[in-house]
Chain A
Amino acid sequence: MTSDHNAHHPKVGFWRQYVFNTDHKMIGLWYGITALFFLFFGFCLVMLMRWQLAYPGVALPVIGKWFGESRMPDGVMLPELYNQLGAMHGTIMVFMGIVPLAVGAYGNVLIPLMIGAPDMAFPKINLASYWAYFIGGVIMLASFFVPGGAAAAGWTSYAPLAVISTMGQTMWIIGMVFLITSSLLGAVNFLTTIIQMRAPGLTFMKLPFFVWAQFITAFLLLLAFPPLEAAAVMQLMDRVAHTSFFMPSGLMVSGQPLQISGGGSVLLWQHLFWFLAHPEVYVLILPAMGIVSEIIANNSRKPLWGYKAMVFSLIFLGFMSFIVWAHHMYITGMGTGISSFFQATTMIISIPSVIILTALFLSLWGGSIRFNTPMLFALAFLPMFGIGGLTGLPLGLSTPDIHLHDTYYVIGHFHYIVAPGTIFALFAGIYYWYPKLTGRKMNEFLGHLHFWPTLVCMNFLFMPMLIQGLAGVSRRLYDGGMEYSHAQGVMHLNGVMSYAAWIMALFQIPFIINILLSLKGGEKVNDNPWGSTTLEWATATPPPHGNFAFDPKVYRGPYEYSVPGASVDYTPQYQEKVI
């Protein structure tokens, strides 16, 4: 993947080659490494929280003392720290882990390769996008060390709590502005690249589904993030310049009248936040669907079932995701008119999701299914994402939401979508495209050792949340609900979930070892080890600077597997004749 593979590019210094390299693959790789670090870090935060939930008020052995008097005196976690961990776990996982991995890393590495382009349309903007992300990440991490610690008002940062909280919230806002800037630069780049730089013959309806998913995702990022960026700056003004965009008149905090002009609207923040954050949910899921589609088509050795229906569903999902946001706000005091509108759009948006999932299920019918590690993760994605999507139904209607809102049911629901859903897809993709970047396959045994325990632990971690939620246990409770009598019957599940999380952490070790050891010790493979049809497998491994040594042309759709009359079971897009 280094630039010196290509004779036209003279050898450059370390900094130009690795740090300020504008090659999309290097930028994508940096995105990937950074995002995997943040995913691991975000997981560590939640493992600490799970100690407090399993053993409320008990000192954390050994490492508890490292956190200092203001966070864990004598190893016992304070609510101050718990709330910081909660807010930062969400922020880090969503904005610094999954989106940069699913979009920044996967999109960057794969889009130009899959469409037969030499690089992204704007390589320098691409590099700027990574560094904006990096700076945003550093600011977020640094916020743990300012007085009062990191942001503690939830990843949603609802006003007025966020406006009156400690300095960490200011850091959160500034960090978010960098992260948003990064996403906007990336989105512009992705859109331009996909629209302008497709290889001859690669019409839109011949694009791999993964590229379509990234295309729609880029639109979502481009159109949904600016309102949040504006809102974040308004909240920053409320905090530092004492404006009152989100602050109503007459607030009394701890018995003292707040010295502000007032007249603002608390709910305005929620509207602006969710106007981004609902499309953001699809930013988290669409690239995952794209990855899973590629891997399922490849390993079932047949075309995707209903490719066109999937693409139209994807476009429809993209549009609809902009008009469902207020289903996060049913219990803020909604009338029938507005709640009916958002319930109706929410029910409507479930249909294209069901179509895509059904198409993936049906794609398996008639296949010749290979169960390698990427396929295991991709297959597990289907039922796990299914649980996540289905548990969204009771939350999407305002009446059952009265009971389920802000309970652990919500946490269980979206974690099923994002963890054994999206993160499984991301794992699948790493196992699947690793040979393209390194020329070696990852180890199958370690892959299985990663997959099976992780699948089991995920369910022991998130299924009890649905049970606690039905029992009415609220989320974001420092003691996990011990205070309340209605929660007593389900409190023992906190221990189950915590051990599931910790054991799951252990079984990420085979994955890390696998990534590192396979670099040198993995099975050496050719340029197209999975017998795949899409363009990224047409080039050398690792792909050189400029990607293709020839001008790729596209002759057919992306999933021409097992074509009748062909002698091999795959007919690549770039191959002129069926052999």
Chain B
Amino acid sequence: MDTLEKGWIQKLLGLPPVASAHGQQIDFMIFLLHMLVLVLFIGWGIYFIIVIWKFRARKNHRANYYGTSTHVSTYIETSVAIAEAVLLLVFSIPFWAKNVSALPTEKNPLKIRIVAEQFAWNIHYPGPDGIFGKTDMSHYDKASNPLGLDLTDPAAQDDVVTLNQLYLPVNRQVLIYLSSKDVIHSFSLNIMRVKQDAVPGMVIPLWFTPIKAGKSEIACAQLCGLGHYRMKGYLTVLPMEEFDKWLAEQSAAAKSSSEDSFWN
């Protein structure tokens, strides 16, 4: 997906392509802000060059005590304040309220738990029953049960746990419950314009809708120790049917292996 066709904003600012429903809004704000930045900087820059040329001592031997009596600065400051107020009230706050704070708008989003640890992403699907099995660290095993899933819980039987492999269906809202086992990590899907700290002791929900199928990466955006730079996961967005098929296969495999471990 990193090779997806970019829109003109992404090309102009060198942003990654967008593959989520809300991503374009974030990019549009980044675009507006940079236009404001550019206008101010170029304006100041032109003024600056003129003034240091025009008022150089060699040409202008005596300074004017009173300087300029212009009110332009007041207008500039007022316009900056208005521009900032618009960006804040019209764009940023409504976006946050609708896309970050609020619950998913679909009734039945795909629910996933993601538990970060040094230096990997544990990804937990509830399976076809839609219920996460109970977890408790007394069941923890580094290799076979990194989330401490209680395999005696009926709801856990069909659960799918992957390491660093996040599969998502396209065009369906996904609700992720993000947490961390050890230190702060930050779950970052550049292409989806999703970034959320995984804070130990907290379970933080986040949601978004992938709108393009393909592959990309999960990055850790918060310094989490020696392996921070390679705390990479993989994102695969599949068409709905393919995703359902993948989940069913994984779930069946998990079920049979949990039965195995029951008899062993």
Contacts and interface: CB of A to CB of B under 8 A. Distances in A.
Q: Indicate whether A and B interact.
A: yes
Interface of A: 79-80, 83, 86, 153-154, 158, 160-161, 164-165, 248-255, 257, 264-267, 300-303, 305-306, 331-336, 339-340, 343-344, 347, 350-351, 354-355, 358-359, 361-371, 379, 382-383, 386-387, 390-391, 393-394, 397-400, 402-407, 467, 470-472, 474-479, 481, 483-486, 489-490, 561-564, 569
B137 A361 contact: no
Contacts of B216: 485-486
Interface in B56-73: 56-57, 60-68, 70, 73
Interface string B31-71: 00110110011001101100110011100111111111010
A252 B137 contact: yes
B62 A393 contact: no
A333 B140 contact: no
Given A79-B226, A161-B184, A362-B73, A267 B13 contact: no
Nearest to A394: B33
A562 B77 contact: no
Interface in B126-182: 137, 140, 142, 181-182
Contacts of B204: 333
Given A394-B37, A474-B220, 11 more contacts: A86-B223, A160-B183, A252-B137, A253-B182, A266-B199, A347-B88, A387-B41, A399-B26, A471-B14, A472-B219, A561-B65
Interface in B1-46: 2, 13-16, 25-27, 29-30, 33-34, 36-37, 40-41, 44-45
B181 A393 contact: no
Interface in B208-240: 216-217, 219-230, 232
Contacts of B229: 79, 477-479, 481, 483
Nearest to A304: B67
B255 interface: no
A351 B81 contact: yes
Interface of B: 2, 13-16, 25-27, 29-30, 33-34, 36-37, 40-41, 44-45, 47-48, 51-52, 55-57, 60-68, 70, 73, 76-77, 80-81, 84-85, 87-88, 91-93, 95-97, 100-101, 117-118, 137, 140, 142, 181-184, 186, 188, 190-191, 193-197, 199-202, 204, 216-217, 219-230, 232
Contacts of B219: 472, 474, 484, 486
Given A251-B182, A399-B91, A470-B14, A303 B195 contact: no
Contact of A397 (B61, B80, B88, B224): B88
B254 to A, nearest CB: 21
Contacts of B73: 306, 355, 358-359, 362
Nearest to B183: A161
23 contacts: A83-B225, A83-B226, A158-B223, A161-B224, A250-B137, A250-B201, A251-B200, A252-B140, A253-B183, A331-B196, A332-B197, A336-B100, A362-B70, A365-B67, A383-B48, A390-B40, A398-B96, A402-B100, A406-B186, A475-B223, A477-B229, A478-B228, A485-B2
**List of 6 A-B pairs having minimum Cβ-Cβ separation, nearest first:** A248-B201, A366-B64, A302-B63, A301-B63, A472-B190, A478-B229
Contacts of B223: 83, 86, 153-154, 158, 161, 475-476
Given A382-B48, A399-B25, A406-B195, A366 B63 contact: yes
Contacts of A382: 44, 48
Contacts of A339: 93, 96, 100-101
A361 B48 contact: yes
Contact of B67 (A366, A379, A407): A366
Contact of B44 (A305, A332, A371, A386): A386
Given A302-B64, A302-B67, A486-B2, A474 B52 contact: no
B182 A160 contact: yes
Contacts of B47: 361
Nearest to B60: A368
B56 to A, nearest CB: 5
A569 B62 contact: yes
Contacts of A350: 80, 84
Contact of A364 (B51, B77, B91): B51
Contact of A347 (B41, B62, B84): B84
Given A351-B77, A486-B2, A399 B92 contact: yes
Contact of A333 (B2, B13, B44, B196): B196
B63 A562 contact: yes
Contacts of A153: 223
B64 A562 contact: yes
B241 to A, nearest CB: 27
Contacts of B34: 394
B88 A255 contact: no
A487 to B, nearest CB: 9
A383 B44 contact: yes
Given A266-B201, A393-B36, A400 B29 contact: yes
